[in-house]
Amino acid sequence: MKHIYALIAGLFFSLATFAQLPDGSVAPDFTATDLDGVEHNLYDLLDEGKQVILEFSATWCGPCWNYAISGALDELHEMYGPDGTDEIRVFYIEADDTTTLEDLQGTGSATVGDWTSVVHFPIIDDGGSIFTDFGGAYYPTIYTVCPNRLITESGQLDAAGHTAIFQANSCQAASLMNDPALLGYTGGTTACPGEPVNISVDLMNLGLSNLGYCTIAVMDGATELLSYDWSGDLGTYAVENVELGTAVFESNTDFTIEITSDDENTANNSSSGSVILATDGTSLIHVEIMIDNWPQETSWSITDASGSVVESMSAGDIAGDEGDVVAWWVSVPSEGCYTFEIGDSYGDGLYGSQWGSIDGYCTVKTYNDDLVYVSTVYDYDGSYDFASEQAGMAVTSMNTGITEQTLNEVTNVFPNPFTGQTNLQFSTTVAAKAGIVAYNLVGEQVVNLDLGTLQAGEHNHVLNFAGISAGVYLVALTAGNETTTLRVTLN
């Protein structure tokens, strides 16, 4: 509900292009009854060759009201609906289930007017579940659904703009007997050099007869990377995800996926994909996120080549206030190929400014034994939406010196949190050269103490953070061949 609240507060006025369910997605089916008691099924209408326009709205939404009284969708309904050319169906779906019939009629407490007097096409109440299935994010959200079930967020266009979308050739009902189409690439997007990448694509039958076979090739320019002979039994508008095989990439590669067998329409025979090679780095990985106002939506994971999770934070695990920076150090167990994935359960990433918050960020970097920066695996600045993003890591060197609590497991910082200064207490079993270095969470040194050679035994050293900004720091204590790192908080 965060974005709906932002609307109520007047921080967002419904002209954004964000939608969780992107253009080209397959519309979920639904059956609903309008205020006149007439039942409607989306797929039944599409199977009749109709284009369907869905306006998701709320009775209290001022921008929704302004668009309704513009008359754009009423004009479409009159010209192209059942009493016009009978090409389309238009529906108003009240998607906030907390509102009432009285609100629709303009007499309730959560309304800006009498919707039944300005909307002259079917009104469906209590459509919150439909809105959710379509990935609803804000009001009004307006989709055009083509007979092939694919959606376009047509938005608050005038009548002519909507007409151009539903009358386009790509939005027409199936008319050819043999017409396979490729919808989009669904395979891997990151790879380590020499590692195979799974290649897959969504195949749709846009033909009137069932699709039994086709040949699909993956092309890097003029070079065929692989070819796959698919066979099955797809009815009209049915979709199947086709696993084409694997390919090995030695560099960042943009490729196309093409239907190479004969059919009656080649305009929809191609899709595109890309693979980005993993960034070389070390086994010590630093994940840092500055959160927007909705940290509970953010998740991340690091997985190995077999898909096993090395470290992760699930949606709901991260808390704090907008602008807070949270960070984690992760040590992967071996060299090899790893994947970092960040997710947002709402689908808008850390792009908080569009909802009146701030834009967050996420960086993933690797460091050596001395906590010196080595490489950047992922760098996101909060300037765009995402539901999930991935970045590959090729771990080519292991960090052996940094293991927590290796100094006889007696190292301690007290007090912690602290103001100004704190104490570092530890013991050594043999005489050893020792030093203390404190880093901020971007790897910059803020304290560097050479303790010289210490005799075996217990030691206590005062760490003075005078003049240093409040925040979270990592204190690395080295004594001989052993190192331990501790997290401290300066208030």
Residue 328's alpha-carbon distances to 280, 312, 338, 365, in angstroms, are 19, 10, 17, 11
Give the bridge partners for 235, in sequence order.
none
What CATH number belongs to 412-490? 2.60.40.2550
Dist. CA 164–CA 268, nearest whole Å: 19
Mean pLDDT of 133-155: 93
Entry pTM: 0.70
Mean pLDDT of 297-315: 92
Radius of gyration, alpha carbons of the chain: 29
- Residue 3 pLDDT > 60, yes or no? no
Dist. CA 456–CA 430, nearest whole Å: 4
The 10s digit of each residue's pLDDT in 257-284 is 999 999 999 999 999 999 999 999 999 9
Residue 163's alpha-carbon distances to 135, 142, 255, 341, in angstroms, are 24, 14, 34, 40
Domains 2-171 and 180-277 share a fold: no
Contact of 463 with 429, CB cutoff 8 Å: no
Give the bridge partners for 458, in sequence order.
427
* Pairwise pLDDT comparison (66 vs 451), residue with the higher score: 66
In 221-278, where do the E strands start and end?
A: 223-234, 239-248, 253-259, 270-277
Give, in words, the CATH class of 180-277. mainly beta
Pairing mode, if any, of strands 39-41 and 51-57?
unpaired
Q: Does domain 279-397 have CATH number 3.30.70?
A: no
Mean pLDDT of the residues in the chain: 89
- Residue 480 pLDDT > 80, yes or no? no
Give, in words, the CATH class of 2-171. alpha beta
For residue 491, count CB atoms less than 10 angstroms from its CB and return exposed for 0-12, middle for 13-18, buried for 19 or more: exposed
Domain boundaries, the chain: 2-171, 180-277, 279-397, 412-490
The 10s digit of each residue's pLDDT in 391-448 is 999 999 987 644 444 454 557 788 888 898 888 888 776 677 888 988 887 778 888 8
* Pairwise pLDDT comparison (193 vs 256), residue with the higher score: 256
Dist. CA 50–CA 44, nearest whole Å: 9
